[in-house]
Structure 1
Amino acid sequence: MDQTVSKDKSDLLRRMNPADFALLAPHLHNRFLDLKVLLETAGEPIRSVCFLESGIASVVARNRPGLDTEVGIIGREGMSGSALVMGADWAPNDCYIQMTSEAVCMDAAPFNDALQRSQTLRPFLLRYVHYLHIQTRSTALSNARAKLEDRLARWLLMCDDRTTGEQILITHEFLAIMLGVRRPGVTIGLQMLEGRGLIRSRRGEITIRDRDGLVSVADGFYGQAEADYGRLFE
C-alpha cells in the first residue's frame, strides 16, 4: 500500500468497518484522474474500483454515439465499480471523470477477494448501491417531469455537494450530455438562473451565488436521495 493512502477523504472508506478497510488497504493506491478519464466502459469488464476523494465522475447511459445522458453522479460519497458488489463483472454504463478528481483505487481481483473473505463488506457496500438506485430514480423522475431550469438547479446542487468552494468547472458540452439536452437549451437554462441571481455563469465555470434559491427552483426534485444517503449511513 502507498503509505500516503488515507481513508479520511472518502466518505465510504471513512465509514467502513476498520477490519474491512484493512482487507482493502494493502491494494489501494492514490490516483489523480484527469478530465474524461474512463473508469468503466459499458459492456466491458470492470478492471478497477476507485473511491473518489474529490471531483466528480458521471455514470452515462448510451444508446449510440451522440445519444447519451447522465444517469448518476459519483463524488467523495461513493465509488466506481459498484456492479462488482452485486456479483457482476462488467459495467452496465460508461463512467468517466467529469471534474478532475483524486481517488484511491485498487484492481478488481483483490476487491472481489475481499468481498468473499468478509461477511460485512458486501452488505455495507450494498447500502451505497441502494443509494445509487435511489439517485437514479430521482434523475428519471426529474428528466421526465421537471422543467429544464429545475433539472439544471438540481444538477448544480448535486455538484455543489461533492465539490469544495462555490465554483463548478464545467463546459456547456458536458452539461448538455448530463441533462440530455442540446447546448442551446443549456445556455437558456443558465441564463434563466443567472437572471434570478442564483448563479454566475462564465465560459467553463459556474459560480453558485444563492444555494437556497437553487433548492427552491429544484422544486422538490433535489433532497430525497441526499436524505436517504444519510439514513443509510447514519
Structure 2
Amino acid sequence: MPQLQQATVRNSLLKALSPADFALLRPHLEPMTTQLREGLIDANQPIQELYFPEVGFASVVTACTEGQIEVGLIGREGLVGAAPVLLGSDRTPQQSFIQMSGEVLRISALELRAAVRKSSKLQDVLLRYVHTLMVQISMTVYAHAALNLEGRLARWLLMCHDRIDGDELVLTHEFLSMMLGVQRAGVTLALQNLEGAGRIKGRRKRVQILDRSKLEQLVGGSYGVAEAEYARLIGGA
C-alpha cells in the first residue's frame, strides 16, 4: 500500500499539522470506509481507536434512556474521540456514530497518546481542536434553548453542508427527528416550511441546499462562532 501523503489527505486537522507532527501519526493511520449509523465510540466503554474523517461525518450524541439527541458534529475538520482521550480519560458517557457514510483514517488511542507525548506542538493543535468542539457543543445548547425548530434545523443543515462536497444531503425524517430531539411530524413540517421559503429542496431521503444566506437568517448567533474559532486557531495553521 502506498504511504499516506499529507498533501493528499482531506482532513483539515491533519493538513494543519507540521510535516514532522504528521510524520509521527502517518505510520499509524489506517484508511477505513464507513457505513450509515456505524458506531465509532461507545458510551462508557474504553476508547480503543480514534477517527479522522476524510469523507462524511459523525454525530456525537447523548446516550440517555429517554433517547438520543445530537450535541456535536464532526467531519473532515476534526477527530472523533479527541476530547476524552486528549483530556486524560479513557471513555465518555457520549456515543459517536456515522451520520453520513464515507471514509476515515483510523488510529489507535495508544499510538495517538504516544505521538502527543513526543510533540507538544501536536498536542497544542489537537487541543485547540477540542476547544472548537466544546464551543460548537455550547452553541448547540444555546440553539436548543433559544431557537424554534426551523432555526435549529437550519443550523444543523448548515453544519452538515460545511462538511460535504456539493449541496445534497442524504437523510431521513426519522433520523432528523432523533438528531434534533423532536417528533417526526415536526421535522416534516419544518422541512416543508424551509422548502416553501426557497431555502432547501426536499426529495425522498435527500435535502438539497438552495440558499445558505436564507438559512443563516434563521439561526441567530448559534452558527458561525465555532466555525470562526476553528478558522482562527487551526484553519490558517
TM-score band, normalised by shorter chain: over 0.9
| Aligned residue-pair number | 232
Structure-1 residue corresponding to 2:215: 214
Paired residues of 1:5 and 1:29 also in contact (CA < 8 A): no
Structure-2 residue corresponding to 1:77: 77
How far has the Cα of 1:6 moved from its partner? Answer: 3.7
The share of aligned pairs that are identical, in percent, is 44
TM-score (norm 1): 0.96
Q: How does 1:192-203 map to 2 (within 5 A)?
A: 192-203=193-204
Is it true that 1:171 corresponds to 2:172 in the alignment? yes
Structure-1 residue corresponding to 2:13: 12
Counterparts of 1:123 and 1:132, CA distance in 2: 14
How far has the Cα of 1:4 moved from its partner? Answer: 5.2
Structure-1 residue corresponding to 2:55: 54
TM-score (norm 2): 0.94
Structure-1 residue corresponding to 2:30: 29
How far has the Cα of 1:5 moved from its partner? Answer: 2.9
Change in 2 beyond 3 A, CA 1:217/1:109: same
Paired residues of 2:63 and 2:93 also in contact (CA < 8 A): no
Q: Secondary structure at the match of 1:67?
A: coil
Q: Secondary structure at the match of 1:100?
A: strand
Q: How does 1:134-213 map to 2 (within 5 A)?
A: 134-213=135-214
Counterparts of 2:180 and 2:122, CA distance in 1: 34
Gapped regions of structure 2 (runs ≥ 5)? none
Paired residues of 1:5 and 1:104 also in contact (CA < 8 A): no
- Give the residue type in structure 2 aligned to 1:107: S
- Give the residue type in structure 2 aligned to 1:122: Q
- Give the residue type in structure 2 aligned to 1:3: P
Moved more, 112-121 or 92-101: 112-121
- Report the aligned-residue RMSD: 1.2
Paired residues of 1:85 and 1:126 also in contact (CA < 8 A): yes
How far has the Cα of 1:91 moved from its partner? Answer: 2.6
